Structure 1
Amino acid sequence: MKSPPGPPTGDVTFLFTDIEGSTALWDRMPDAMTESLAEHDRRISSIVEHHGGYVFTTAGDSFAVAFQSAPQAVEAALEVQLAFLEPAAGLTFKVRIGVHSGVATVRNGDYFGAAVNRGARLSASAHGGQLVLTQATVDLLAGRLPAEVELVDLGTHRLRGLTEPERIHQVCHPALDREFPRLRTVEGPDDHLPTQLTSFIGRTRELRDVMGLLNEHRLVTLSGAGGAGKTRLAMRVAEELLGDFPDGLRVAELGAVRDSDVLVDEIAQRFAVTRVAGTPLVRSMAEYIGAQRVLLVLDNCEQIIDPTAGLCRDLLMACPNLRVLATSRERLGVAGEALYRVPSLSLPDEGATVDEAYRHDAIRLFVERSRLATSEFAVTPDNVEAVVSICRHLDGIPLALELAAARTRSLSPAQILDRLDERFRLLTAADRNAEGRQRTLLSTIEWSHDLLGPDERLLFRRLGVFAASFALRSAEHICSGDGIDEYDVTDLLMALVDKSMVATDSARDGTTRYVLLETLREFARRQLDDAGERDVLAQRHAEHYADLAAQLQAQQRDGDLGGALIRLDQDEAEYRASLRHTLGARQLTTAGRLVGGLGYLWYTTGQHREGLQWCDDLFALEPELADQVLADALHSHGSLLGVMGHADRAVEALERQVEIRRRLSDRERLGAALNNLGDWYFELGRNDAAESVLAEAIVELRSAGSYGVSLSLGTLAAGRFNQGRYGQAERDFAESLEEGRRADHAHSIAVAMCGLGRCLLALGQADAARPHL
């Protein structure tokens, strides 16, 4: 079979190759590489021609080839890998190959479009000697594989620079290596980059500049006004540099953080570092990071500039290979910091032609987002003047462009331009003290807001009560009523998403979350204040999240601690906002419900300092609470006091809780309270008191039929073990294990087995201990 006379069209399968490590080979042996690369090119060209491939690009040691059919492409790719099992003119090359199928645009013998980009990114994700296919190619193969070939599903991955994830398969052949490191995609160790639901446009120079700064400086801050695209640029830089940080990256969103201790806790969580008694948490973080090559991205630092600067200074001094990329409306002010002001997107001159306009990022972003609103949108000779004027009026600010582009669903570019002109003249005259771009952004937001229907405007301003992302159900509960039916919230929210007034995100549990961008949230809150609804909505918000805190408490007690922690993480900013409001407004019952519901989760996640501060703030106000609310709040307070080293105060709180639980006649909760109290009595050396309350706890929990009896037996056993009473402790742990298995409670079983193994070791029975440990 010969190569086709021209480029294949329609559904095309693309094959991309390049040599892994070629730069190092050129550096070490340039003369040998010249001859070997010529042999490399000859082999690939011959194989491609034999299988009917069309070479449309070669650059350095890479080939880009188009095939009319997927089987032809895969056969050619396999033959290439087999051909390089033998050295090429004395050098052994490891060639990585990616094959993807799709529709692309042909222009002057070259290919353009998403399918080409995806194929190139796929090849870059592979390792030398590896051949990978996308699901699109596998589907076209329809089982028609070369002899001795099998496919291994490598799962779904996000390719760098692309929005939609890709299912990737590896071609396996007996003569080829089968085992490779993980693909070079964006799911690296602890990378946790937020999912981007729209494509990244342009910013080639900015990406190059920021990556260069990070290569030279250990702290780089991206600054600019709201809507300038700081966050999106930071995340793209992090994605591009992923391979330079073998120990991964961490991303911390600081927009909702106001307290310096909470800041430290927030970042420590990203490294899974917890507090150690007597050791500052920053030092524990620094010791954990050590010499690791890690990129830390801190987003929206402007709310807490000074503490963030101090933390960055401490970590950078202690961790020689740490790099920090921050976004803020102002510099952090740390020695050695490089500041990069994020510019607006590039703009064409007035009178630009269609081809000239498309060379500029502002136009490309406007067009791309307009196509999300109406797929047929394009810049034409008839509308290019209006499109260019819109982008120039908006100063190339990404958020402003996206808001305007959303209107192309119902307005032509000329109509959009007319309305922008009217609004800009009005608002520029109204506020001449603001900077020009801020006036422009405010104008665009107000203009987009005024185009909303009355109910959409009402919901939009009420969404300003949220501190960060939120679930649909939360919006329904908090924002309905007084003019909005709960059943209408979904449709109204979807309309706001369609009009780019609300963004979406994917949660860890697979659900969709909703969020107002920072600038839009500030605008919505001003609207909420002007309508006199701020306090009413804040109280609804707090009561709703108090209900959710109770649900998390029940979920955790039912054994699903992991699920409860995921939900806590998703709504953490909302819980903080609710506590801040209820304590400030002295709505202490709601504050008590929040503290009572969240206390154990704070304890478990290591947010001890923050949780204790909320508890201390509540009890400093001497709240008069119903017994159930007070008992739960005291449980949280006592647990957190203890873990923070205030054992005497912890016992006081837990004793008070026990007194209230006796009045409530809830045997299970009384038993749990007695168990916690007994644990701290042991801690203080009050062993007789501990034995007494734990004996009562076991009776109460047995009567309630609760799995907690296993935990109380374990607490009793641990206290006796620490006193050297190993025989008694062994019997107690054995009984605890029996109760845990009877209740089928995994946590209780694990605690009992570990304790029993330790007892057996202490008794010199190592062989008997081993199965338990």
Structure 2
Amino acid sequence: MRELLETRSAGLVGRDGAAAELESLLRAKRLVTVVGPGGVGKSALAAQVAGRLLDEPWAAAGTADLAALDVPGLVPHSLARALRIDGSPALPQLPALAAEIGRRPVLLVVDTCERLAEECAETLEQLVEACPALHVLATSRIPPAAPGTFPLAPLAPDSAVPLLTSAAREAGAPDDPDPDLAYRICASLDGLPLALRIAAGQLAHREADDLLTLIGRPGQLLDLPAPMPELPHRLRTLRGSLCWSVRLCTPGERLLWARAGVFTGPFTRADAVTVCADDRLPPDDLAVAFDGLAAHSLITPVPSGSGAFRMSAATRAYGKQMLELLGEDAEFRRRCLAHCLQEA
């Protein structure tokens, strides 16, 4: 397990404060889920914190990645297998697992809970309640309906620049990028660690100013590979990461994502209703979809507190491509322009 955690947390930069806070929260609450958008570094942070705790006298420790699991009833089986625990065959799997753990100190890392978010939340909550020395650190793109969440946001530019620079060196870049250009690259990529690592890979054979020009065309950025072959397939490109998020969305959320891609800057819920609502997506359905996209971190509040939200450049580019496939791009670009002119 130690080697796996070290591999997953390798190259984590700019998260020292978050790691310390997460460790403290895990010790206090015993069940904590790291929540945030794809590519923000949830798995790496969880792995680093779990790695710090491994030297403590756990009776058992294990990690379960639920990315490939699509049968809700098998969640307890996956957790038992991760901990190498065989419960009594006379009991259902969850009570058997809880009975086997009992009061023993156990550390469990559960990665990629979003596909079965409700089942995972219920299972983990029941286990922690039944097992007073069990500590569970989970990750999910979707906030669980349970206490103990740890929101993980992208890096601020000042923290993102060291990640870009160190990742570029690892990728073989001949020189460190100019600090001003590095800052602008990080800001353009919204501080998302996966996007920063993809950009760093490009610095091995591009000048920083050329890369900044490329980032200005985010549709082309979607398919560039991250120089980290150990990453799961869904995280090797921004398109792969966003495709995973699409699979987690409802039809209404997908439709709003596509249509809201026409906004080039922050937009409010009222803006979204004016531009994106129609018979296929009535205002009430749109409101539900809006909340869903926010829960998935596909739209994020603007820090000013104005009630406005924004999409990252990559998320917006992916949405625009979905809108083109729907054949609705011209119509909703026209509606957005008309709305902006009216508001000006």
Cα deviations across residues 511-568 of structure 1 (Å, max 9, x unaligned)?
A: xxx7342854355789xxxxxxxxxxxxxxxxxxxxxxxxxxxxxxxxxxxxxxxxxx
Distance in 2 (CA, whole Å) between partners of 1:232 and 1:363 is 18
Match of 2:33 among 221, 239, 253: 221
SS at match of 2:7: coil
- Maintained 8 Å contact 1:302/1:330: yes
- Which residue pairs with 1:521 in the alignment? 240
- Maintained 8 Å contact 1:501/1:516: no
- Which residue pairs with 2:188 in the alignment? 393
Q: How does 1:73-472 map to 2 (within 5 A)?
A: 186=2, 193=5, 195-196=7-8, 198-274=10-86, 276-334=88-146, 337-348=147-158, 361-379=159-177, 383-421=178-216, 423=217, 443=218, 446-449=219-222
- Maintained 8 Å contact 1:250/1:271: yes
Over 3 Å counting, the alpha-carbon distance change for 1:377 and 1:332 in structure 2 is same
Percent sequence identity over aligned pairs: 29
- Maintained 8 Å contact 2:34/2:42: yes
- Maintained 8 Å contact 1:224/1:330: yes
TM-score (norm 1): 0.30
- Maintained 8 Å contact 2:35/2:139: yes
Shift of 1:347: 1.8
Distance in 2 (CA, whole Å) between partners of 1:450 and 1:243 is 40
Shift of 1:261: 2.0
**What is the one-letter code of the residue matched to 1:447?**
Q
Shift of 1:196: 3.8
Over 3 Å counting, the alpha-carbon distance change for 1:289 and 1:194 in structure 2 is farther
Distance in 2 (CA, whole Å) between partners of 1:404 and 1:240 is 29
- Maintained 8 Å contact 2:194/2:235: no
Distance in 2 (CA, whole Å) between partners of 1:523 and 1:333 is 23
- Which residue pairs with 1:36 in the alignment? none
SS at match of 1:419: helix
Over 3 Å counting, the alpha-carbon distance change for 1:449 and 1:338 in structure 2 is closer
SS at match of 2:157: coil
Over 3 Å counting, the alpha-carbon distance change for 1:257 and 1:194 in structure 2 is farther
SS at match of 1:376: coil
Distance in 2 (CA, whole Å) between partners of 1:248 and 1:282 is 17
Distance in 1 (CA, whole Å) between partners of 2:223 and 2:10 is 25
Over 3 Å counting, the alpha-carbon distance change for 1:193 and 1:248 in structure 2 is farther
Whether 1:500 aligns to 2:226 is yes
Distance in 1 (CA, whole Å) between partners of 2:76 and 2:42 is 23
**What is the one-letter code of the residue matched to 1:214?**
L
Over 3 Å counting, the alpha-carbon distance change for 1:414 and 1:268 in structure 2 is same
Over 3 Å counting, the alpha-carbon distance change for 1:194 and 1:248 in structure 2 is farther
Over 3 Å counting, the alpha-carbon distance change for 1:408 and 1:501 in structure 2 is closer
SS at match of 2:230: strand
SS at match of 2:143: coil
Shift of 1:333: 1.8
Over 3 Å counting, the alpha-carbon distance change for 1:419 and 1:372 in structure 2 is same
Shift of 1:291: 1.4
**What is the one-letter code of the residue matched to 2:153?**
P
Over 3 Å counting, the alpha-carbon distance change for 1:251 and 1:280 in structure 2 is same
Over 3 Å counting, the alpha-carbon distance change for 1:523 and 1:344 in structure 2 is closer
Distance in 1 (CA, whole Å) between partners of 2:240 and 2:56 is 35
Over 3 Å counting, the alpha-carbon distance change for 1:346 and 1:241 in structure 2 is farther
Distance in 1 (CA, whole Å) between partners of 2:40 and 2:136 is 20
Distance in 2 (CA, whole Å) between partners of 1:393 and 1:259 is 39
- Maintained 8 Å contact 1:301/1:327: yes
SS at match of 1:267: helix
Shift of 1:449: 4.7
- Maintained 8 Å contact 2:83/2:108: no
Distance in 2 (CA, whole Å) between partners of 1:197 and 1:225 is 17
Distance in 1 (CA, whole Å) between partners of 2:153 and 2:57 is 27
- Maintained 8 Å contact 2:9/2:47: no
Distance in 2 (CA, whole Å) between partners of 1:312 and 1:450 is 36
Distance in 1 (CA, whole Å) between partners of 2:157 and 2:109 is 29
SS at match of 1:195: helix
Over 3 Å counting, the alpha-carbon distance change for 1:394 and 1:245 in structure 2 is farther
The count of aligned residue pairs is 245
Name the larger-Rg structure: 1
Shift of 1:320: 0.4
Over 3 Å counting, the alpha-carbon distance change for 1:401 and 1:232 in structure 2 is same
Distance in 2 (CA, whole Å) between partners of 1:523 and 1:193 is 24
- Maintained 8 Å contact 2:76/2:97: no
Distance in 2 (CA, whole Å) between partners of 1:212 and 1:525 is 31
- Maintained 8 Å contact 2:171/2:227: no
Over 3 Å counting, the alpha-carbon distance change for 1:277 and 1:239 in structure 2 is closer
- Which residue pairs with 2:320 in the alignment? none
TM-score (norm 2): 0.64
Shift of 1:195: 2.6
Cα deviations across residues 643-700 of structure 1 (Å, max 9, x unaligned)?
A: xxxxxxxxxxxxxxxxxxxxxxxxxxxxxxxxxxxxxxxxxxxxxxxxxxxxxxxxxx
Q: Which has the higher contact order (CA 8 A, sep 6+)?
A: 2
Over 3 Å counting, the alpha-carbon distance change for 1:229 and 1:410 in structure 2 is same
Shift of 1:368: 1.1
SS at match of 1:504: coil
- Which residue pairs with 2:251 in the alignment? none
Q: Tell me the C-alpha RMSD between the 2 structures.
A: 2.7
- Maintained 8 Å contact 1:229/1:399: yes
Shift of 1:258: 1.5
Shift of 1:280: 1.1
Unaligned runs of 5+ in 1: 1-157, 159-185, 349-360, 424-442, 452-498, 506-513, 527-773
Distance in 2 (CA, whole Å) between partners of 1:218 and 1:301 is 17
Bigger mean CA offset, 194-203 vs 297-306: 194-203
